[in-house]
Structure 1
Amino acid sequence: MKKILSIFLISSLFLFSCNDDDSPKGGGTPLPTNPTDPPKAYTDPEIIEMVQKDALKYFWDYAQSTSKLARERYHTDNPGQDAHVVSTGGSGFGLMTILVGIKNGYVTRTDAVSRLSTALNFLQNANRFHGAWPHWMDGNTGNVIPFSTKDNGGDLVETAFLAQGLICVREYFKNSTDATELAISKKADDLWKGIEWNWYTQGQNVLYWHWSPNYNFEMDHQLRGFDETLITYVLAAASPNYAIEKTVYTEGWARSGA
């Protein structure tokens, strides 16, 4: 096990060290071009900084062109493929990553605020289903892109990942003296508060993952732990407008202690 972990860590450090000429401001450090050069011994802070910069690179350099949100994937051999497929959950991670970029000086606050304004305006006008966004959206139109035949409506877990980012944006700018930044904070707050978590219970003591305007709850996918969907219950319990009851968590995700 230790050998496998060592191989994984070495491979990860190699990948994070690799970079190209397209990096954002202060991009990662490239490997030595001369193979005879001794490898650089990176400190922990240097490694963390490379990870932070390269994570930002995806969400900043390769964001969908219109919405400025996160693309589901980027094909290096064919950048136009899936160019407008926006990932709802990935966009939540992207929002948080941009805030780190501001704090660390990787992007200017002015540029970041402009991009966040565009992204939140897009989310405000995009398809929502009882407050939840779909798994995928068209970054040009905001229309749902079906993840599967019956998954063409609200995706509560992807929405939860996005809501985390929205709450972080709200908190980051809520005490600003700048009118544009305060407007971003308020919009992020309004967007997360509009998610109808309790509606996704169907009146039962469990949350459901999907709802479709065409297929209703036919996917019948309940959120039960232990898994990554815990955040969905945390946010649903915290909602000021559409909170779930405690029994939805205890009998649903926690499975009555099971």
Structure 2
Amino acid sequence: MMRCIHCMYIFFLLSAAGISCKKASDNPQPTPVIETFKLITATINSNEATPQNGLNVLPVIKVIFTAAMDRNTVVNGIVLSQSNGTAVALNASYQNNDSVLILQPVIALAFITKYILSVNSTLKSKKNTALSTPAVINFITQIDSSDKFPVIGDSALLDKVQKQTFKYFWDFGHPVSGMARERNTSGDLVTTGGTGFGIMAIVAAVNRKFISRAAGVTRVLKITDFLTNSCTQYHGAFAHWINGASGATIPFSTDDDGADLVETSYLMQGLLTAKQYFNTADITETDLRNKINILWNGVDWNWFRQGSQNVLYWHWSPNKAWIMNAQ
């Protein structure tokens, strides 16, 4: 009897061991969860960070991720730069256990400038997971609407504009011919029509007492003497561009290497205005009026009708004739 009880005890232990082993094999270890590290959203000044124009120069940029960032990777992982590649220093703060980043420039950005915010895959989470959703966001800053100069009244502003306009023609007039340069950097290249504008400006300057009457007459006389004695004329008309030192024609284009009647008209309008304004019996002013009359009457306007047509033709070239054919 005792032997049977002993056998039953052994059988019970073996059975229990078998059940225990079977339960262990029915419960495998859980698969580790792989972290997702993505950009959820980005805003600039609380607006969705799509391309924006006219942003203030100290914008607040907010970037939200699915996981906490490794702060050591933020400097290279999120970069704000100008379109020329110049990086912008940023202040950074963190929220929501480092899954939210708030950025703001250390100093104000430049006005009317394009900036690029790059969020790249070098940014990593605290678990060393690389960002899987790189992003590039563009925006342009606003204009600087602050006053740059002392505020003046309308009348004073018009005075300033008129005086500065005159100064271009006066200060940058060619030293030999007195004619107006096409640009302040044009060297010897002067422009016929621009000279007409310059003569008008000289008349206004004399009338406003920006310069003396004698100085104005002297400058216009320099111009008329140069036009009469040095410049190539085409049936009395002048070229668009002229060498202000020699008087030679400078071609405006391949086919425009002779008379320009429009530019000549601008010149004559300026000269006729000067003739009417400098109207005293002074010998110098009389001499000026006589020279203007010769130039004005020297233009064969009818010849530019190209055979007595009821139109004027803009260009004529001694080498290309009426090839441009612009009425």
TM-score (norm 2): 0.53
Q: What SS does structure 1 have at the residue aligned with 2:242?
A: strand
Q: Does the Cα contact within 8 Å between 2:177 and 2:245 map onto a contact in 1?
A: yes
Shift of 1:108: 1.5
What's the % identity of the aligned pairs? 44
Cα distance in structure 1, aligned partners of 2:283 and 2:242: 29
Q: Does 1:45 align with 2:155?
A: yes
Residues 129-153 of structure 1: CA deviation (Å, up to 9, x unaligned) = 0111000000011111000111111
- What's 2:129 paired with? none
Note the aligned Cα RMSD (angstroms): 1.6
| 1:188 alignment counterpart | 292
The whole-number CA distance in structure 1 between the counterparts of 2:148 and 2:174 is 39
Alignment correspondent of 1:89: 193
Q: Secondary structure at the match of 1:106?
A: coil
Deviation at 1:65, TM superposition (A): 1.4
Distance 1:152 1:178, change over 3 A: same
Q: Is the 8 A contact 2:217 2:278 kept in 1?
A: no
In structure 2, the residue matched to 1:171 is 276
Q: Output aligned runs, 1:76-155, within 5 Å.
A: 82-125=186-229, 126-155=231-260
Q: Which whole-Å deviations, capped at 9, do the CAs of 1:96-140 have from their partners, x for residues lacking one?
A: 100111111111122222111111101112111011100000001
| Matching of residue 159 in structure 1 with residue 264 in structure 2 | yes
Tell me the distance in 1 between the aligned counterparts of 2:191 and 2:258. Answer: 14
Render the CA deviation track for 1:46-72: whole Å, top value 9, x for unaligned.
Answer: 011001110111000011111011001
| Counterpart-to-counterpart distance in 2, 1:173 and 1:107 | 14
Runs of 4+ in 1 over 3 A off after TM superposition: 36-41
Higher relative contact order (CA 8 A, sep 6+): 1
Which residue of 2 is the match for residue 197 of structure 1? 301
> Secondary structure at 1:48's aligned position in 2?
helix
Partner Cα distance (1:37, 1:160) in 2: 40
Structure 2 letter corresponding to 1:68: G
Query: Partners of 1:85 and 1:55 in 2: how far apart?
Result: 19
Q: 1:40: Cα distance to partner?
A: 3.2
Aligned equivalents of 1:99, 1:115: Cα separation in 2: 11
1:30-41 maps to which residues of 2 (within 5 A)? 40-41=150-151
Residue 237 of structure 2 aligns to a residue whose secondary structure is coil
| Structure 2 Cα separation of the partners of residues 83 and 145 of structure 1 | 13
| C-alpha contact (below 8 Å) 2:255/2:317 kept by paired residues | yes
User: Is 1:74 paired with 2:194?
Assistant: no
1:94 aligned counterpart, secondary structure: helix
Deviates more, 1:37-46 or 1:159-168: 37-46
Where does the alignment leave 5 or more consecutive residues of structure 1 unmatched?
1-35, 76-81, 223-258
Deviation at 1:41, TM superposition (A): 3.2
Give the direction of change, closer, same or farther, for the CA distance of 1:39–1:102 in structure 2 (3 Å limit): closer
Count of equivalent residues: 180
Rg larger for:
2
Alignment-derived partner of residue 233 in structure 1: none
Unmatched 5+ residue regions in structure 2? 1-145
Tell me which amino acid in the other structure corresponds to 2:215.
D
Compared with structure 1, are the counterparts of its residues 208 and 42 closer, same or farther at alpha carbon in structure 2 (3 Å cutoff)?
Answer: same
